[in-house]
């Protein structure tokens, strides 16, 4: 693993870049529906990592990266994947973890940038691997092409992109769940989608992800979908409950009429009688082919 000092000196320009963009970052932080500085947010993000990390690590483990690979983890959250990359890579590798709010990121494991992927620039042809998970869904739909294009330009020729997103439209409550709870659940999903939509967010992003990746020039190596059957009162249900309660707080500002529906929805996740299916994550592994910058474009 590279030392902090070597990380700092080799990327001083990147650090300056990050500091210079703090103002823009602060101005845009309100577009994110959740809040990394809230108490309980670390536990919520750790809950997400517990659900997703094994599958992400399985995808990352098979990539052949150079010993001095430069890797970028966008919207790193609590940072488990950046830490895994740092631990698994050689001492010459360089791991950068970004987020609009870096409070929860451990800077001993990787270089940390406060960076808004929707607004701030990325260095070009800089990374052998870029990974982002459940980040694009929090950006406005209108910025997706621009962000994907920036990720393409930031990837080195022969480098990899792994993008992973969810599809809220795929949530489907099981027929064995009691009728009243099914109605509460479906109304809750609709309320969630209404809030996402009012912020210009594409809640069905997972279904479009593979096309988005290839449209900017990446070549898809693998695209997989993870379906899960979730029971109330399980660890995954606990993560969803906290997420919905945070969303209910946002709804107080965005659309107060939705608050009761969201609170009732959140309660469902505590009940063992709840059973629902979801295509939680679509993962796309892609590469940037070509020998020259021109061929890569």
Q: Contact positions toward ligand SAM, by CB under 6 A?
A: 32, 36, 45, 48-49, 52, 75-77, 98-101, 116-118, 133-135, 138-139
Which tokens sit at 27?
């101005």
Tell the smallest beta-carbon distance from residue 68 to ligand SAM (Å): 24
Shortest CB 225 distance to ligand SAM, Å: 17
To ligand SAM, the closest distance from the beta carbon of 48 in angstroms equals: 5
Distance CA(226)–CA(283), nearest Å, equals: 8
User: Which tokens hold the place of 128?
Assistant: 């052998």
Return the beta strands (E) in the chain as ranges. Answer: 70-74, 94-99, 111-114, 127-133, 155-165, 172-173, 219-231, 275-287
Closest approach of ligand SAM to the CB of residue 73, in Å = 7
| Residue 61 dihedral angles phi and psi, to the nearest 5° | -60, -30
Which residue, 15 or 187, has its beta carbon nearer to ligand SAM? 15
Please compute, for residue 231, the number of CA atoms within 13 A of its CA located in the half-sphere on the CB side. 5
Nearer to ligand SAM, 73 or 184 (CB): 73
Residue closer to ligand SAM, measured from CB, 77 or 159 = 77
Q: How far is the CB of 143 from ligand SAM (least distance, A)?
A: 8
Helix (H) or strand (E) holding 39: none
**133 - beta bridge partners?**
164
> Which residue lies nearer to ligand SAM by CB, 213 or 264?
213
Query: Cβ-closest residue to ligand SAM?
Result: 77
Q: Are strands 94-99 and 70-74 parallel, antiparallel or unpaired?
A: parallel
Cβ proximity to ligand SAM, 138 vs 279, nearer residue: 138
């Amino acid at each position: 693993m590279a030392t902090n000092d070597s990380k700092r000196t080799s990327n001083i320009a990147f650090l300056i870049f990050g500091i210079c963009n703090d103002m823009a970052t602060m101005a845009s932080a309100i577009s994110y529906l959740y809040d990394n500085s809230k108490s309980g947010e670390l536990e919520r993000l750790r809950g997400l990592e517990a659900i997703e990390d094994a599958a992400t690590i399985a995808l990352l483990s098979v990539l052949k990266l150079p010993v001095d690979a430069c890797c970028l983890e966008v919207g790193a959250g609590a940072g488990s994947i950046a830490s895994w990359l740092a631990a698994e890579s050689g001492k010459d590798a360089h791991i950068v973890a970004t987020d609009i709010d870096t409070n929860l990121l451990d800077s001993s494991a990787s270089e940390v940038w406060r960076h808004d992927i929707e607004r701030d620039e990325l260095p070009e042809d800089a990374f052998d691997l870029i990974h982002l998970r459940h980040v694009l869904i929090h950006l406005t739909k209108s910025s997706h092409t621009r962000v994907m294009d920036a990720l393409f330009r930031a990837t080195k020729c022969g480098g990899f992109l792994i993008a992973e997103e969810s599809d809220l439209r795929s949530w489907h409550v099981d027929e064995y769940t009691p009728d009243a709870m099914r109605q509460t659940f479906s109304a809750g999903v609709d309320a969630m989608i209404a809030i996402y939509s009012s912020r210009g967010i594409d809640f069905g992003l997972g279904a479009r992800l593979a096309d988005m990746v290839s449209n900017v020039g990446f070549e898809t190596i693998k695209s997989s979908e993870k379906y899960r059957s979730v029971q109330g009162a399980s660890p995954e249900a606990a993560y969803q409950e906290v997420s919905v309660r945070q969303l209910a707080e946002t709804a107080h500002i965005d659309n107060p009429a939705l608050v009761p529906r969201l609170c009732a929805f959140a309660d469902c996740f505590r009940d063992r009688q709840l059973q629902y299916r979801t295509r939680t994550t679509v993962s796309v592994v892609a590469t940037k082919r070509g020998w020259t910058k021109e061929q890569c474009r």
